[in-house]
Amino acid sequence: IAAAGTKYRLLEIGNNMRVRWQKRPYGDQGICISRALYQRVGGFEDVPFMEDVLLAGKLRQLSIAPCLLNDRIKVSPRRWQRSGVIRQTLKNWSLLRQLKRGRTPNELIEQYARDDEQRRGGSE
């Protein structure tokens, strides 16, 4: 996460633990797979967001375990800075839980966008 601070390093550690233990990498971990595997799982679904979560689920269903590389990528801290690390993390967990319970990304994007607009004070 391209921001200074212990809270961001702890968030990175938590994300890495999720990948190692739950086998669930998301887009901010920089998912890299072969074209053949990408095509085998049907690629990204045509949804407005959470396509990375759905792809990770497909890979997990095939028992394809991700590996963590030592390389790093920079991820924008924008949402965590705007909402706060704890609030944004809880919001992300809530969205994941709702997706697991059957809500679609199309339904969830409305909530996600509405929450963002409220945080920005109705602008943008």
Q: What was the pLDDT predicted at 27?
A: 77
pLDDT digits 0-9 by tens, 1-41: 888 999 999 998 988 888 888 878 887 778 888 999 999 99
Whether residue 100 has pLDDT greater than 80: yes
Structure tokens at 52: 């990375």
Nearest C-alpha neighbor of 11 from the set 75, 100, 96, 99: 75
pLDDT digits (tens, 9 = 90+) for 43-89: 999 999 999 999 989 998 998 877 777 788 888 898 889 989 999 99
Q: Contact at 8 Å (CB) between 15 and 29?
A: yes
pLDDT of 109: 92
Q: Is the dihedral of CA 113, 118, 122, 124 positive or negative?
A: negative
Supply the pLDDT for residue 122: 58
| Phi and psi, residue 89, nearest 5° | -65, -45
Section 82-100 average pLDDT: 92
Amino acid at 4: A
Q: What is the pLDDT of residue 119?
A: 64
In angstroms, the CA 57 to CA 41 distance is: 10
